[in-house]
């Protein structure tokens, strides 16, 4: 997980990506569709997964059967 520091800007951090995803999620959506429509926000697939992990651990999203929704 990337956190902001002297060498990592806020825009490159997992925290920033998680906040961006949280702002986008207004209705349930499949994991693949969410990535496909927003992949320009992420440097790679692992940064997308890091953002999802953070939101899940914080209890902000639920993931069931490949569908992401707000908790």
φ, ψ (nearest 5 deg) of residue 62: -120, 145
- Token pair of 22 as six digits: 């949280």
Check: CB of residue 2 under 8 Å from CB of residue 14.
yes
Q: Domains (ranges, CATH) in the chain?
A: 10-70 (1.10.10)
- CA-nearest of 2, 4, 9 to 51 is 2
Q: What is the pLDDT of residues 50-67, one digit of tens each?
A: 999 999 999 999 999 999
Q: What is the pLDDT of residues 19-36, one digit of tens each?
A: 999 999 999 999 999 999
φ, ψ (nearest 5 deg) of residue 66: 80, 10
The model carries a pTM of: 0.84
Angstrom distance (rounded) from CA 39 to CA 64? 21
């Amino acid at each position: 997980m990337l956190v902001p520091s002297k060498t990592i800007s806020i825009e490159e951090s997992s925290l920033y990506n998680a906040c961006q995803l949280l702002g986008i999620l207004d209705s349930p959506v499949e994991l693949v569709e969410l990535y496909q429509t927003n992949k320009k926000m992420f440097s790679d697939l692992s940064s997308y997964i890091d953002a999802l992990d953070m939101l899940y651990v914080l209890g902000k999203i639920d993931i069931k059967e490949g569908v992401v929704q707000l908790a």
